[in-house]
Chain A
Amino acid sequence: MAIANLGLNTLGRLETLPPDWPGGFWWHWLFFTVVIIAFVLLLVMGFIWIERRGMGRMQARLGPNRAGPFGLLQPVADAIKVLIKEDIVPTNADKIVYWLAPVIAFAPALMIFAVVPFQDGALLADLNIGILYVVAISSVSTVGVFMAGWGSSNKYSLLGAMRNVASVVSYEIPVLLSIVGVVLIAGSLSLNQIVLAQDIPFILLQPLGFLIFFVGGCAEIHRSPFDLVEADSEIVAGFHIEYSGMKFAWFYLAEYAEALAISAIITTLFLGGWRGPLLPPFLWFLIKVFAVFFVMVWTRTTLPRVRIDQLMALAWKFLLPLALINLIITGIQVLTWPVALPWVMIPVNFAIMAILVLLWSKLFKLGGGRVEV
């Protein structure tokens, strides 16, 4: 709001307006819509650059370094390239579904940012059910992905789409349960309230919840090692195998916008959002978002891909029980230590996480394997 009011001040209008000026709502709406779109597009470009350069460094090569200083203009060059590419529609495609899919896949990633606070109170809509809205909206992109897989009328893309639906349906549950732990401590569903409640970042109070959310989040936005949806070496590009030109760019954009959304949600829920010393809040938010994304790039360059049955086993046999246990423990802690001493809870919670994860890794069997046919 501070920025918005500043903008109005420079126009020289605010003093002349009454406080309950009805245009204020629309001014707020317009301002944050523009901010969110610009923020997402710019950060997606930043993410693409970080991913490509970072992966280059980690893979003992240079990465893109021709377009602009340090290859900074590479995302721009990519964007221009996809814009002027031919737009191919397969003959057998289900045309309407094929056309709608990229938009439906991308829009939810943008809509998530309506409730993400960039600094105190600086958000489009401070919904009191904020995090519930995020979870609900983020699932919609699955519909877009499945439409793409179905509409392309390609077997590879259908396989990718099926994998996507399976993984998202499974991973929603542990992700949601790990969020509930945070909500219990914060006592609110509003993202802004959750940030305000984090005098110490919730990653310290909810280490297990953070782990589950990070793994589940990566699986939901199909990033490596859970990138079965677009598995390069198996089903080539999965659901967007038939897309080219700008339609492909929408999927590309959606992929990174989702990564950005997950990074922003992790930042807000577990890393204290925009809070931090010295630097301005917005900068803290950016730094944390980039840090989370860097970890995602790191895992992508490090780990091989899991198989679909292993992916499901991880969700149902590993993450779900741990998320339930985490929820119970958090509930007990919130009840028994209403004005909890955080400095006692932090080591206790870390110890619980270590014990549970180690124990479950021992018990956990992947199973699967060869099927008799």
Chain B
Amino acid sequence: MALKTEPFVLNIGPVHPSTHGVFRMRAILDGEVIVDMEPIFGYLHRGIEKLAEERTYTGVIPLTDRLDYLAAMSNNLAYVLAVEKLAGIPVPERAEYLRVIMAELQRIASHLIAVGAFLNDCGAFFTPFLYMFREREKIVDLFEMVSGQRLLYNYMRVGGLSHDIPSEFLPALDKFVRQMPGFIDEYDQLLAKNEILLARSKGVGILPRELAINISASGPVLRASGVKWDIRKVDPYSIYDRFEFEIPTGSVGDAYDRYWVKVQEMRQSLRIIKQAMGQLPPGEVKSQVSHLLHPPVGEAYGHIEAPKGELGFYLVSDNSIAPYRCHIRAPSLMNLTALREMMIGWKIADAIIIFGSIDITMGEVDR
């Protein structure tokens, strides 16, 4: 007996526990299987690019905090790099090192949340999530020491940092760097050998190498598909050419690889922090920059390897105190563009995992 069935539309989101913000997937389902899917963005649009045109170059920095609010330091860094390129401002040595330390700490913090949230999407009831948060808390404490804030740091400035680190920062950082590898190993051991996690994520949501390049994916999503592409290596900004580290790449490009790459990157970040701590020179942390900066007429594109991929700021100056145009290349948005191809044919449960493994922040997707 053949049952007569017909597909139906299921709106996953915009208010749904696993959409990491307000994202909507309009899925057409045949039973549990996703036949078609249409991602719908824009629920968190705040017009940050337009707002940036109304503010001074320094005044845009707090706005960048609110892009990827889980990696505010990285956003700061990408923006100030673009402005420094635009206006040709030198940065003191010490500030460069501290920027690298902050950016790498931020990468660890962001990846911790990504891994925790991914496992939450897999259905591990908050335990991995809260353990990851426990480790992230230590990084947030470090950031609170230097900037006074715990989420939106607003720490970097054009030409350096807002102020130098306090004396208790380096011992605390040293303690963190010594403890963290043990925690990563422990969690990796607990998670990477879990039979259910393997069954759920191996081979699920494969993003082929060609497709990953074609949609200009970046960050862990691209590297999981086997492309050795990291802005820190291919176009070294700041002082990344002085450090030794490796770029972990996946082989298949499935959800598990995206998870695995993030765990490996945390280890590499710790390596970079260790080297930066050893080489940290004394001196100033901010060069003399006018409050009302007038960069010469022109344009500049500053990009970094943010935790989620290539984060770029494209700035156009008309020699006024505010950028004429500020465009943000958000990695989360770019990485999401292959979502439909990755999801079709999988079940709802897989769709949630695939979405979670891409690791996005809606604040950055919608801006």
Chain B positions 333 through 357: 1 when the CB is less than 8 Å from some CB of chain A, otherwise 0 = 0000000000011111110100000
With a cutoff of 8 Å between Cβ atoms, the chain B residues found around residue A296 in the complex are none
Chain A positions 218 through 242: 1 when the CB is less than 8 Å from some CB of chain B, otherwise 0 = 0000001101100111111000000
With a cutoff of 8 Å between Cβ atoms, the chain A residues found around residue B33 in the complex are 371, 373
Which candidate, B159-167, B169-177, B199-207, B245-253, is the interface stretch facing chain A?
B199-207
A155 touches B8 (CB 8 A): yes
Which residue on chain B has the smallest CB distance to residue A158? B8
The total of chain B residues at the interface (CB under 8 A) is: 37
* B130 proximal to A (CB < 8 A): yes
Which candidate, A25-33, A128-136, A297-305, is the interface stretch facing chain B?
A297-305
B130 touches A59 (CB 8 A): yes
| Complex Cα spacing A232 to B349, Å | 11
Within 8 A of B (CB), among A12-69: 55, 58-61
* A308 proximal to B (CB < 8 A): yes
Which residue on chain A has the smallest CB distance to residue B199? A366
| Complex Cα spacing A235 to B8, Å | 15
Chain A positions 358 through 373: 1 when the CB is less than 8 Å from some CB of chain B, otherwise 0 = 0000000010011111
With a cutoff of 8 Å between Cβ atoms, the chain B residues found around residue A307 in the complex are 199-200, 347, 349-350
* A310 proximal to B (CB < 8 A): yes
With a cutoff of 8 Å between Cβ atoms, the chain B residues found around residue A351 in the complex are none
* A82 proximal to B (CB < 8 A): no
B345 touches A372 (CB 8 A): yes
Closest approach, in angstroms, between the C-beta of A48 and any C-beta of chain B?
A: 15
Within 8 A of A (CB), among B17-59: 17-18, 30, 32-35
Chain A positions 324 through 336: 1 when the CB is less than 8 Å from some CB of chain B, otherwise 0 = 0000000000000
Q: Which of B33, B344, B348 has the most CB of A within 10 A?
A: B348
Q: Which of A303, A366, A372 has the most CB of B within 10 A?
A: A303
- Set B197, B199, B204, B352: member contacting A234, Cβ < 8 A: B352
Closest 3 CB pairs of A and B: A305-B123, A304-B122, A304-B124
A60 touches B131 (CB 8 A): yes
Closest approach, in angstroms, between the C-beta of A274 and any C-beta of chain B?
A: 32
A370-B345 contact, Cβ under 8 Å, with A58-B127, A224-B125: yes
* A159 proximal to B (CB < 8 A): yes
With a cutoff of 8 Å between Cβ atoms, the chain A residues found around residue B16 in the complex are 236
A60 touches B197 (CB 8 A): no
| Complex Cα spacing A218 to B205, Å | 29
* B192 proximal to A (CB < 8 A): no
With a cutoff of 8 Å between Cβ atoms, the chain B residues found around residue A369 in the complex are 203-204, 346
5 extra A-B contacts, CB within 8 A, seeds A307-B347, A372-B345: A55-B127, A60-B130, A228-B349, A304-B124, A306-B200
Within 8 A of A (CB), among B115-154: 119-127, 130-131, 134
* B290 proximal to A (CB < 8 A): no
B348 touches A234 (CB 8 A): yes
Interface bracket on A: 35 or more
* A309 proximal to B (CB < 8 A): yes
- Residues of A whose CB lies within 8 Å of any CB of B are 55, 58-61, 155-156, 159, 224-225, 227-228, 231-236, 300-310, 366, 369-373
A304-B32 contact, Cβ under 8 Å, with A59-B130, A224-B125, A233-B17: no
| Complex Cα spacing A227 to B196, Å | 13
Which residue on chain A has the smallest CB distance to residue B36? A373
B345 touches A232 (CB 8 A): no
| Complex Cα spacing A309 to B203, Å | 15
* B194 proximal to A (CB < 8 A): yes
With a cutoff of 8 Å between Cβ atoms, the chain B residues found around residue A300 in the complex are 125
With a cutoff of 8 Å between Cβ atoms, the chain B residues found around residue A156 in the complex are 10
A308 touches B127 (CB 8 A): no
With a cutoff of 8 Å between Cβ atoms, the chain B residues found around residue A225 in the complex are 123, 196
Selected A-B contacts with CB under 8 Å, 16 pairs: A59-B131, A60-B131, A155-B10, A224-B125, A225-B123, A302-B124, A302-B127, A303-B194, A304-B200, A305-B196, A305-B349, A306-B199, A307-B349, A308-B349, A371-B33, A372-B345
With a cutoff of 8 Å between Cβ atoms, the chain A residues found around residue B32 in the complex are 159, 308
With a cutoff of 8 Å between Cβ atoms, the chain B residues found around residue A372 in the complex are 345
| Complex Cα spacing A302 to B130, Å | 12
- Set A61, A159, A305, A370: member contacting B130, Cβ < 8 A: A61
- Set B8, B119, B123, B130: member contacting A227, Cβ < 8 A: B123
B345 touches A373 (CB 8 A): yes
Q: Which of B119, B121, B345, B347 has the most CB of A within 10 A?
A: B347
